[in-house]
């Protein structure tokens, strides 16, 4: 048998084995990035994307977070029409306009922050949720404007403002206009404080950069999901700046709770009940208003 004949025979044999295999979808299993356990995707989703083995909290989409937080059918979105503009004609490997279009198609939303009125175990509130799957939850001009509108709606309706953060920081494609949102959102929080309306922040993984340096850490009450990364700059940048080794677990939700920056670190499934316990001290249930 020639070498060519041998390769032909092997090719036919491999093709036959492939044809005999079961047609099993490739997305049935998920590997936990924390403990490396292989998890059945359906079981993981039924457990609200928390690893059954180690408790690692996978990131949620906006729809998943909303379903876990707001009472069914209670969410009424506003400011949904706002969409970012590529006013700098920014381009790296793609144009900013192209990136926006791709993320809008992928998520079905116009930007990384969604806000509306909702009920949490019957207690009304203005609810804002950041979606990391939209350009890494980056803070741009639309996100800042929608946050301000959420604060204004809370002022108008005399309701608490509850915000879930998840962000990689400021959106570089908008330059200084993105950084301006830090001051803009902080000013909106100050108006809430002046009116004695509670602002409650739930920090989720990751909350970093300009978002952390502004509205994410200005709440009256700070909750955090277990294991969430909460930071401004990365640990390597900090170590190089201060020329010191950072302690173990630095920038984790648990570390921040231990040092007084977070009021409570909670399992994902506990947050809704915890929010309701807080809200009952500030607002009457919807049916009594």
Domains of the chain: 23-58 (no CATH), 59-288 (3.90.226.10)
- pLDDT tens track for 81-125: 999 999 999 999 999 999 999 999 999 999 999 999 999 999 999
**Which of 131, 39, 128 is CA-nearest to residue 77?**
128
Of the given ranges (130-144, 181-195, 229-243), which has the lowest mean pLDDT? 229-243
Q: Is the pTM of this model over 0.85?
A: yes
Distances (CA, A) of 92 to 96, 132, 173, 176: 8, 21, 9, 17
Query: pLDDT tens across 170-179, in order?
Result: 999 999 999 9
Closest CA to 196 of 164, 155, 163: 155
Contacts of 198 (CB under 8 A, 6+ apart): 160, 161, 192, 220, 221, 278, 282
In the predicted model, is pLDDT for residue 199 greater than 60?
Answer: yes
The closest alpha carbon to 202, from 271, 126, 135, 261, belongs to: 271
pLDDT bucket at 22, cuts 50 / 70 / 90: very low
User: How many residues comprise the chain?
Assistant: 289
If one counts every other C-beta atom within 10 angstroms of the C-beta of residue 70, the result is 22
Q: Residue 34 in contact with residue 229, Cβ under 8 Å?
A: no
**Does residue 8 carry a pLDDT above 90?**
no
| Whether the predicted pLDDT of 53 surpasses 50 | yes
Separation between Cα atoms, residue 163 and residue 18, nearest integer Å: 50
């Amino acid at each position: 048998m020639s070498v060519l004949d041998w390769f032909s025979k092997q090719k036919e044999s491999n093709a036959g084995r492939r044809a005999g295999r079961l047609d099993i979808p490739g997305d049935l299993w998920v590997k936990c990035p924390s403990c490396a356990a292989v998890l059945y995707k359906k079981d993981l989703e039924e457990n609200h994307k928390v690893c059954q083995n180690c408790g690692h909290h996978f990131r949620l989409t906006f729809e998943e977070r909303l379903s876990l937080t707001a009472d069914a059918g209670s969410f009424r979105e506003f400011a949904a029409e706002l969409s970012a503009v590529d006013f700098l004609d920014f381009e790296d490997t793609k144009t900013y306009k192209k990136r926006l279009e791709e993320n809008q198609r992928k998520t079905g939303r116009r930007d990384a922050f969604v806000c509306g009125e909702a009920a949490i175990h019957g207690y009304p509130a203005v609810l804002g949720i950041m979606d990391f799957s939209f350009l890494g939850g980056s803070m741009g001009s639309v996100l800042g404007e929608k946050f301000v509108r959420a604060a204004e709606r809370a002022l108008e309706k005399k309701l608490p403002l509850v915000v879930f953060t998840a962000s990689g920081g400021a959106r570089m494609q908008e330059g200084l206009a993105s950084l301006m949102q830090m001051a803009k959102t902080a000013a909106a929080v100050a108006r809430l404080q002046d009116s004695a309306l509670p602002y409650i922040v739930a920090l989720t993984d990751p909350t970093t950069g300009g978002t952390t340096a502004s509205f994410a850490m200005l709440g009256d009450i700070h909750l955090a999901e277990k294991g969430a990364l909460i930071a401004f700059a990365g640990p390597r940048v900090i170590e190089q700046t201060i020329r010191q080794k950072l302690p173990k677990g630095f920038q984790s939700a648990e570390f921040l709770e231990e040092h007084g920056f977070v009021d409570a670190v909670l399992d994902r499934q506990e947050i809704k009940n915890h929010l309701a316990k807080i809200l009952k001290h500030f607002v009457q249930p919807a049916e009594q208003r």
